[in-house]
Amino acid sequence: MSSRDMSYHAVMSRKNEIMKASLGIDYDDYIQSPIAFDYERMMSETGYSHADVERIQSETKVGNTPLFELHNLTQTVRRISPPGKGARILLKDEAANASGSFKARRASISAYEAQQKGYQGMIAATSGNYGAAVASQAAQRGLKAIIIQEVFDSRGVGQPEIIEKGRKCEAYGAEVLKLSVGPELFYLLLRTLEETGYFNASLYTPFGVRGVESLGLEIAQQVRTACGKDPDAVVITHAGGGNLTGTARGLLVAGAISTRIVACSVDLSGLHMASDHDFNRKSFTTGHTGFGVPFATWPDRVDVPRNAARSLRYMDEYQLVTQGEVFYVTELLSKIEGLERGPAGNTSLTAAITLARQMDQDQVVVVQETEYTGAGKHQNSQLSFARENGIEVRLGDPEESVPGKSIVIPKHLDQVRGKIQDMERLRTSYLKNAANQYPVDRWDETDFNFLAEDLKVSQDWVRQRLTDL
């Protein structure tokens, strides 16, 4: 029996020690200040080339997923677009990966790393598709898997989508620890890592992001083959930032330097992720602003000392869509393209429709992922659960929807409009968080350079915005 202090405070204070033992990464080697760290060196020192990643992923049924042109949807969008507008819409079908989502790419490198370093198992804290991905990859590598999920509110009621994902984790042989919403998630993660000695398959390690880079590479290669050019825009569902970061990095490696990187989240403004009251008043457990905005404006709010997912470093534009718009597009995809995919993965498809209407017909917009669907993830289950929790569900103008109170489903496609987030406001919010982390009068050239790179701006912009503030 361990004599170590296992109280909340004691375990949290050992965070860096536990992370080092469970990852084999000494983050202190990369940290330059409370703000700055050597991001590119941390990423490169994973030790995996792009050829290595492709080989590793091919061993466990990951990658080389099909790219489909959505001909029927493109023609439908052109009918409601101005003359000459209506870009070609292509979709990267990541549901074809083992476990049914792009998250298999993130888990694949972690599983390989764990196996090579002699860990007996993997642990991840997630209520999303990543848990199923970790469980699937662990099973193929002969490793045990423990998934820690926030499932219930204080009434013991769980969302059908989260329950479905937990069932999928268990189907792959994982042990699932099911919690109610609250602050104990990462405490239990750290404690379980320390007690088991398993590998920390965190979403936010360099291994996870490197695994997604193959997705960006494949998109560039496949679009060039299909269309004879690079994609003009790639739309990426944004939550914690790893999806966007990895895909964008892969596109850059492939030389697609002019491709516009468009983030998209479901607008759940006003709902708090850690609120017991709000937990079941949302119909999306990921890909929404409750993750997307906080993680964009301060990435290092995670279970590792420095987050490898840095979305503002690569983002050109940030679109928001409503829950009703995504549910409408999910059913539309099934009805006119014969593809039934999960609503969360169709968030970016919803934004792609609004983008395509503004782009020329000879341009190409790519939806970079889909996800599997199942009984609990299906839009009908989500809408039924919303009604049970007092949410009004009706047809109408989605602009009238109020997160946590109403879901308004469009009557027709031209009501799928989305809206653009203010990138300047997001970058300014990031700077404010950085200033709270470390006093501005102590910033040096290293800090300003890091912030400029992390915000995809010049140092002059950073200094001017601080002056304005």
Report CA 317 to chain centroid distance, whole Å. 16
pLDDT reading at 141 higher than 70: yes
Report phi then psi at 122, rounded to 5: -130, 150
Q: Enter the tokens of residue 448.
A: 């300003």
CATH number of 8-55+101-206: 3.40.50.1100
Please tell me the least confidently modeled range out of 168-172, 282-286, 358-362, 386-390: 282-286
Please tell me the least confidently modeled range out of 70-74, 96-100, 114-118, 375-379: 375-379
Angle at alpha carbon of residue 254, lines to 86 and 130, rounded to 5°: 80
Q: What is the pLDDT of residues 434-451, one digit of tens each?
A: 999 999 999 999 999 999
Exposure string of 234-254, with b = 16+ CB inside 10 Å and e = fewer, is: bbbbbbbbbbbbbbbbbbbeb
pLDDT reading at 4 higher than 90: no
Report phi then psi at 260, rounded to 5: -80, 130
pLDDT reading at 188 higher than 50: yes
Identify each DSSP E strand in 127-191 by its residue range: 144-152, 175-180
Q: Are 26 and 179 in contact (CB under 8 A)?
A: no
Exposure string of 353-386, with b = 16+ CB inside 10 Å and e = fewer, is: bbbbbebeeebbbbbbbbbbbbebbbbebbbebb
Q: Are 12 and 187 in contact (CB under 8 A)?
A: yes
CATH number of 60-99+207-420: 3.40.50.1100
Q: What mean pLDDT comes out for the span 123-141?
A: 94
- pLDDT confidence of residue 374: 85
- Rounded to whole angstroms, the Cα distance separating 384 from 402 reads 17
The H or E element containing residue 264 is: strand 260-266
Q: What is the pLDDT of residues 250-274, one digit of tens each?
A: 999 999 999 999 999 999 998 887 7
Q: Are 113 and 101 in contact (CB under 8 A)?
A: no
- The CA-atom distances, in angstroms, between 215 and each of 54, 244, 313 are 10, 10, 18
Q: Are 43 and 210 in contact (CB under 8 A)?
A: yes
Report phi then psi at 93, rounded to 5: -90, 80
> Which of 315, 289, 290 minimizes the C-alpha distance to 234?
315
DSSP 207: H
The residue assigned the tokens 């609120």 is: 275
Q: What is the pLDDT of residues 47-66, one digit of tens each?
A: 999 999 999 999 999 999 99
Please tell me the least confidently modeled range out of 117-121, 265-269, 322-326, 378-382: 378-382
Instruction: Enumerate long-range contacts of 288-291, CB under 8 Å, 24 or more apart.
Output: 288/239, 289/265, 289/320, 291/239, 291/240, 291/265
Angle between helices 206-227 and 103-116 in degrees, nearest 10: 130
- pLDDT confidence of residue 438: 95
> Which of 349, 267, 263 minimizes the C-alpha distance to 313?
263
Confidence of residue 1 (pLDDT cuts 50, 70, 90): very low
- pLDDT confidence of residue 2: 57
- pLDDT confidence of residue 451: 98
Specify the pTM: 0.96
Residue 217's CB is within 10 A of a number of other CB atoms, namely 22
Averaged pLDDT of the chain = 94
Q: What is the pLDDT of residues 341-352, one digit of tens each?
A: 998 889 999 999
Please tell me the least confidently modeled range out of 9-23, 25-39, 208-222, 228-242: 9-23
Domain residue limits, the chain: 8-55+101-206, 60-99+207-420, 431-468
Q: Are 335 and 242 in contact (CB under 8 A)?
A: no
> Which of 466, 445, 464, 462 minimizes the C-alpha distance to 36?
445
pLDDT reading at 295 higher than 90: yes
pLDDT reading at 127 higher than 90: no
Q: What mean pLDDT comes out for the span 147-173?
A: 91
8-55+101-206 and 60-99+207-420 share one fold: yes
- Rounded to whole angstroms, the Cα distance separating 85 from 363 reads 9
Side chain identity at residue 162, one-letter code:
I
Residue 467's CB is within 10 A of a number of other CB atoms, namely 7
Q: What mean pLDDT comes out for the span 404-424?
A: 96
